[in-house]
Structure 1
Amino acid sequence: MQALEEIKVLELSRTLAGPYASMLLGDMGADIIKVEQPEKGDDLRHFTPPSWNEESCYFLATNRNKRSIAIDLKSPEGKEIVYKLVKEADVLIENFRTGTLDKMGLGYETIKEINPRIIYCSISGFGRTGPERFRAGYDLLLQGFGGLMSITGEPDCPPAKTGLSIADLSTGLFAVYGILIALFARLKTNKGQLVDASLLDSQVALLNHMIPGYFATGQPARRHGSAHESFVPYQAFTAKDQDIILAIPNNRLWEKCCRALGWEDLLEDFRFVTNDERVRHRAILVTIIQERVSKWESNEIFKLLDAEGVPCGPIHTIDQVVTHPQVLARDMILEVNHPNVKNLRLPGFPIKLSDTPAIFKKHPPLLGEHTEEILRELDYKNEDIQFLKKIKAIE
């Protein structure tokens, strides 16, 4: 059994945040019906490079466990199909610009009249209220607007984006959180509701301690590269053979680290006795540690520190991550059968549930792969389907 079996999700979203959210629901058993534009499909299908046998790796990574139906939402016949799907759906996820679906007759007020129990999740860049609500929102834009880029990168370099689409992906996670809360609330009220998730809100939420930190000090957080503003040493260093991480957030671990590596002299230096002093003398201490670490092979450091329980480790490249025994032991690389991509590999399921686990059931769909199948479930006859194809309401 899966936790979300018998939950039907209608996905009207494109690119990353919405599709990522629906995929996570699909992994836990929900039936995801992905509505795509005929001929073109989800914009994510065209996000290349990288591609694999002409399939976008972005799309492949974000659309497993779904069925694709290609519908022209601007045609009356196509819209009627959506209305029929809405009647049977538990959740609708969309990420059109604010106001777009309202004009098309697919906004929340219209949809809840058709199905009062539906959970309508609206994902946007800036949210559905406020002075910026009509602005387009993309991951990079919101990493900047939401403050994330101001704290990412080296101190003496321009602001940097994260190496992945953190604004989109985190918003997808928050959207799933909101959807599950709304489904739980529906058990009590028997009514659906609007879930309004935005990239901006997600980034502000992720600033976490930096918000009260600003109000406490009057100083906004700054960029520290791989280092941490509150702990030293807590950053990357370069050993003789590779870059490594030392993550030492308290005095107990600092003492263990120094004794394990023979750095007792640092324990006797008043500048480094407490974490507050180490932060105050950050530049001096980091220079000393870097000079010493550079003379060691990384495995020598890891062996000594691991024996004392001091957090440390390598900075892996992607190829090292996907072949690491721990990653493989956690089933974090899925082997997928796909009609166009031989030996497809995808990220696995990050949450392990003992009784209702995530299960891989469907490969990332081809555009419109399930159009006829879904229409037949809605009691469309063969002649109806052929007519809809003829007028290009479906593909």
Structure 2
Amino acid sequence: MNTTHTGPAPLAGVRVLDLSKILAGPYATMSLADLGADVTKVEHPDGGDPTRSWGPPFVGPDATYYLAINRGKKSVTVDLKSEEGQDVIHRILEETDVVVENFKPGSGLQRIFDYRTLSERYPHLVVLHISAFGEDGPLRDEPGYDMIAQAAGGLMSLTGEPGGAPMKAGFAMGDLGAALFGLIGVLAALVERSRTGRGQYVTTSLFECQLALHVNWATNYFATGERPAALGSGHPNLAPYQAFPASDGYFVLAVGNDNQWGSLCSAIARDELTTDPRFERNRDRVANRGDLERELSTAFASGTVEHWCDTLAAHAVPVSPIRHLDEIYADPHTAALGMIGTVDHPTLGSLQQIAFPVSFAGERPRLTSAPPVLGADTDEILGAHRPQSVVGG
């Protein structure tokens, strides 16, 4: 495994205050830390971020869920609802560039840290607010987790086998989508601040980001008015572009144009399919996807996954086995890209982490520090003399 301790830090000098919890906000702030920002995570003295207990599995006192999304940060324990705690936050805000929060809409904390009030006192501040359903509309005050967003935002209606039960995506695409769009918003606001000197209020939501990720599903519907449905591993606009069963398992192939279709037919010794009027062009194959799937499934049943992956790759047809995570983490290609690094935890030793997936001039940002122990940096950041009620002991 690759250990990354050096690398570019394009956001060096940017100071971030992380008032968020769970996944979307912490993932965005971890990404900012990976890019070199100085991130301070504020947690409640009683238990901290809820994801610390989202296990098993645990490594030491913390769940692996928490360890996955909080590296590179410092942890400070503060009771945000106390006057002393709010005074502490205001002292920190004087030297802060970016605040990330996901306060519940209409909550006391959202009112206390209202951006309009903050901006008068700290005009340079960029605040990212992440909610479940956005700033306007009848659902604006509703809370939500990732699966609520996947259901409300349409992803679950498009995931699963045709006619089967709705399924959520394997990744937390509601939270992660909001984290990534929120990150884009923060970076854009910092660029604008470099021109104007003023920060701004950046908002996004799990629901809005789900809609943004509909992409071709949305334009398909706008063009036809037909309600789309789940296609299993299939693609609404391309065929064949899905998983197929071999004699010992499944693999996927992705035919993106008619030339690749011809190469596929040659690879399976079925050249006559290229002139079959049901399959000649992509539009024909999409219209007749049921017949196409039956023809190809019959052909692929005679060989193993390895055989078909090797054969199709030799004909320049995009193809892959369906790999499990243990296989991916042990793959030499993963190692060559440096996508797995380690951080040194003060009590747990070396922890493996997935690295930031963007390189700068061929160099990947460094993994600077392990996810912090709850309150580990309170003394350093707040100083030795602070009210006992602020830090909860």
Q: TM-score, normalised by structure 2?
A: 0.95
**Equivalent residue, structure 2, for 1:246:** 253
**Equivalent residue, structure 2, for 1:294:** 301
Q: Residue 332 in 1 paired to residue 333 in 2?
A: no
**Aligned partner of residue 345 in structure 2, secondary structure:** coil
Q: Residue 263 in 1 paired to residue 263 in 2?
A: no
Which of 39, 50, 58 does residue 46 from structure 2 map onto?
39
Residue 226 of structure 1 aligns with an amino acid whose one-letter code is S
Q: Residue 194 in 1 paired to residue 215 in 2?
A: no
**1:1-395 matched pairs, under 5 angstroms:** 1-101=8-108, 105-354=112-361, 357-376=364-383, 382=384, 384-385=385-386, 388-389=387-388, 391-395=389-393
Q: In terms of mean alpha carbon deviation, does 204-213 or 2-11 score higher?
A: 204-213
Equivalent residues of 1:102, 1:108 under 8 A apart: no
Equivalent residues of 1:69, 1:369 under 8 A apart: yes
**Aligned partner of residue 337 in structure 1, secondary structure:** strand
Equivalent residues of 1:77, 1:393 under 8 A apart: no
**Aligned partner of residue 270 in structure 1, secondary structure:** coil
String of CA shifts for 1:352-372, please: whole Å, max 9, x gaps.
112774111110000001001
Equivalent residues of 2:356, 2:364 under 8 A apart: no
**Aligned partner of residue 94 in structure 2, secondary structure:** helix
What is the rounded CA distance, in whole Å, between the counterparts of 1:341 and 1:75 in structure 2? Answer: 33
Q: CA deviation at 1:113?
A: 2.1
Q: CA deviation at 1:283?
A: 0.9
**Aligned partner of residue 266 in structure 2, secondary structure:** helix
Equivalent residues of 1:68, 1:369 under 8 A apart: yes
Sequence identity percentage: 38
Equivalent residues of 1:125, 1:199 under 8 A apart: yes
Residue 132 of structure 1 aligns with an amino acid whose one-letter code is L
Equivalent residues of 1:119, 1:195 under 8 A apart: yes
Q: In terms of mean alpha carbon deviation, does 29-38 or 299-308 score higher?
A: 299-308
Equivalent residues of 1:2, 1:356 under 8 A apart: no
Q: TM-score, normalised by structure 1?
A: 0.94
Equivalent residues of 1:152, 1:225 under 8 A apart: yes
Q: CA deviation at 1:213?
A: 1.6
**Aligned partner of residue 320 in structure 1, secondary structure:** helix
Residue 189 of structure 1 aligns with an amino acid whose one-letter code is T
What is the rounded CA distance, in whole Å, between the counterparts of 1:343 and 1:10 in structure 2? Answer: 26
What is the rounded CA distance, in whole Å, between the counterparts of 1:129 and 1:82 in structure 2? Answer: 28
Q: CA deviation at 1:50?
A: 2.6
